[in-house]
A and B are shown apart, each in its own frame.
Chain A
Amino acid sequence: MSGPVVDAAPAASVRPRRARLSYTPYLLLLPGMAWLVVFFVVPMLSLASQSLQTGNVETGYSLTWHFQTYADALSQFWAHFTRSIIFAGSATVLTLLLAYPLAYFIAQKVGRWKNFLLVLVIAPFFTSFLIRTLAWQTILTDNGPVAGLARSTHLTDLLQWVHLTNNDSLMNSRFAVICGLTYNFLPFMILPLYANLERLDHSLIEAAGDLYATPIQTFWKVTWPLSLPGVVGGTLLTFIPAAGDFINSRLLGNTQTVMIGQVIDSEFLRVQDYSTAAALSFVLMLIIVVIVALYVRRAGTEELV
């Protein structure tokens, strides 16, 4: 993709520049990469080590290769793992369904309003994540207009029937958590999709039309396959943070919607059982790496970033 450019300089300056340039990339990389190694790779190793240590906060920890911590942590919190994956997965599918039309609309239909609409997509970011999630409490509150509308259209009955809510209110339910996750990570889906769809050559769609393809056929045979890199990028950027999130489940859910991030947070900071917390953290990371690897292989995209 981004090929070498410096080599193509005029002949006279090639030789001295090449000798010097061989160090340049490493010098440019050094500070940034050092930061990533010291504060990302080393902490991951430290996390792995912590998960195999035994002890407690008062007496200190020692490395005993205690793999039992993993077995205990997993048997105790397995339900939280599966719940997190299901919630994050549902939110990812929903964001894709919502983001695709909007991204397509901005990329292909609006012309000079493009930048303005893109700003509106990014704009919510600037009001804090937490404040916006708290705003959902206001929106979904029991005696608010949204809940009233849902009750009068029997949407609440439907949600209750599929076990997304427990009673006729919308707040503090699976529905509210998935709704919040979908909302919070929507821009992460829209932006990669937009970046991809913007480069879509419109003459391909016209060509499909000329060849008597219906709009639906055109979408499935032309637009969708070409947009797959954007879909993969967007789904990863949505699924990964959603799987570890606990702000939505905490602010919009109930005790039945506790996600694994919330467990890790409280094991670390409140229970202070560092080994269990580290084991849970490590397993979450592993699950995500496996899912991402399988998914990327199936989708067949080499370049992620």
Chain B
Amino acid sequence: MRWIRAHLVAITGLLVLGYLLIPNVVVIVFSFNKPNGNYNYQWQRFSLDAWTNPCGTPGICNSLGLSLRIGFIATLVSTILGTMVAFAIGRHRFRGRASTNLLIFLPMATPEVVMGSSLLTLFIAMGIAPGTVTILIAHILFCLSFVVVTVKARIASLDPRLEQAAADLFATPFQAFVRVTLPLVAPGIAAGALLAFSLSFDDYIITNFNASPSSITFPMYVWGAAQRGTPVQINVIGTVMFLAALVLVASGQLISNRRARAAA
């Protein structure tokens, strides 16, 4: 009893972590299932069918490819624009700061249905046909604010004296920025980019408002599939994405650890 009381926080914390991870475990386990019929909800028997044939259901790999392409472009554009905005806010004083902050906060405070439907009314009013381009516009929009917030936090945590030291050592402002500031902010930019990619890759609601039948992203494919049966390949792709992200984050951590050790 005393042991439980002493470790109450740890026990609750680990239980919550379990709640958070159970669905991922289910996704991974059921990627090895061989369901009877169209729905992959009940465990039948072990099989590697879906793993040996991940593109086995029509359309799934096309939609995955489209999502990866959109995610890549949306991440690139939103990271560049967002980092610029973050530097402006984090490193400069200017008129209109408060309204700039508000304009960055509002998209994050807007429910996805509202953002998606408002973009749709704009595209309808302007006669722009929905498709890959409108999806990209929407994705860059909702990723932008999250990149700004992530990079801004990193800039705010930097020691301003490092840049001053560079200037004292006769670095030009450009040199100081490229050789001192940018490497220090880089982890923040990387985190922002990772966040942007995962937001873009995962978005269904906003995308659905601005897509056409010829631009089916992976989440839209999953949604469509869920109406008539869920192919096991969905679980395979979910598992691969999960593992790929873990490897990416782990290697990023290794690199920064090694750098820290080299610097020390």
List residues of A whose CB falls within 8 A of some B CB. 1-6, 8-10, 13, 17, 21, 24-26, 28-29, 31-33, 35-37, 39-44, 46-47, 49-50, 98-99, 101-102, 104-106, 109, 115, 117, 119-139, 141, 143, 183, 186-187, 236-237, 240-241, 243-247, 251, 260-261, 264-265, 268-269, 274, 277-278, 281-282, 284-285, 288-289, 292, 304-305
| Size of B's binding interface in residues, CB under 8 A | 97
User: B148 contacts which chain A residues (CB < 8 A)?
Assistant: 32, 305
- In the complex, the answer to whether A138 meets B41 with C-beta atoms within 8 Å is yes
B residues 154-171 near A (Cβ < 8 Å) are: 155-156, 160, 163-164, 167-168
Pairwise interchain contact B85-A236, C-beta atoms closer than 8 A: no
Say how far A304's CB is from chain B's closest CB, in angstroms: 6
Q: How far does the alpha carbon of A251 sit from the alpha carbon of B205 in the complex, in Å?
A: 14
Q: Are A183 and B19 in contact (CB under 8 A)?
A: yes
Question: B218 and A128: CB pair below 8 A?
Answer: yes
Write out the residue numbers on chain B whose beta carbons fall within 8 Å of the beta carbon of A37.
Answer: 103
**When the two chains form their complex, are residues B219 and A130 in contact, meaning their CB atoms are under 8 A apart?**
yes
Q: Are A126 and B107 in contact (CB under 8 A)?
A: no
**Docked complex: B231-250 residues within 8 A CB-CB of A:** 234-235, 238-239, 241-242, 244-246, 249-250
- Interface contact A261-B118, CB-CB below 8 Å: no
List the one stretch of B44-52, B53-61, B86-94 in contact with chain A: B86-94
Closest to B176 in A: A9
Select which of B13, B19, B137 is within 8 A of A39 by beta carbon. Answer: B137
Q: Which of B105, B111, B115, B250 contacts A304 (CB 8 A)?
A: B105
19 A–B contacts from the bound complex (CB under 8 Å): A3-B160, A5-B164, A25-B91, A28-B92, A29-B100, A31-B84, A33-B100, A35-B140, A36-B144, A37-B103, A105-B9, A123-B246, A129-B202, A132-B24, A134-B222, A278-B121, A292-B109, A305-B108, A305-B148
| Residue pair B222, A131 in contact (C-beta under 8 Å) | yes
Q: How far is the CB of A301 from chain B (nearest CB, A)?
A: 12
B32 within 8 A of A: no
Binding site for A on B (CB under 8 A): 8-10, 12-14, 16-17, 19-24, 26-27, 30, 40-42, 81-82, 84-85, 87-94, 100-101, 103-115, 117-122, 124-125, 137-138, 140-141, 144-145, 148-149, 152, 155-156, 160, 163-164, 167-168, 173, 198, 201-202, 204-205, 208-209, 218-219, 222-223, 226, 230, 234-235, 238-239, 241-242, 244-246, 249-250, 253
Contact of A36 among B89, B104, B222, B239 (CB under 8 A): B104
Q: Which residue in B27, B118, B125 is a CB contact (below 8 Å) of A135?
A: B27
* Contact indicator B226/A124 (Cβ below 8 Å): no
Query: Whole-angstrom distance from the CB of A230 to the nearest CB of chain B?
Result: 13
Given known contacts A25-B94, A128-B238, A138 and B245 CB-to-CB distance under 8 angstroms: no
Among residues of A, the one whose C-beta sits closest to the C-beta of B89 is A2
- B41 in contact with A125 (CB, 8 Å): no
* Chain A nearest Cβ from B8, distance in angstroms: 8
With A126-B246, A130-B226, A246-B205 known, 12 other A-B pairs at CB within 8 A are: A5-B164, A21-B92, A40-B110, A46-B125, A105-B14, A125-B202, A127-B241, A128-B241, A129-B204, A131-B222, A134-B226, A284-B113
Closest Cβ–Cβ distance, residue B125 to chain A (whole Å): 5
* B85 CB contacts on chain A under 8 angstroms: 28-29, 32-33
Does A50 contact B121, Cβ atoms closer than 8 Å? Answer: yes
CB-CB under 8 A from B117, the residues of chain A are 47, 264, 268, 277-278, 281
Q: Contact: A31 with B81, CB < 8 Å? A: yes
Q: Who on chain B is nearest to A292 by CB?
A: B109
In the complex, what residues of B have CB within 8 A of residue A244's CB? Answer: 111-114, 205
Judge whether B222 and A130 touch: CB under 8 Å.
Answer: yes
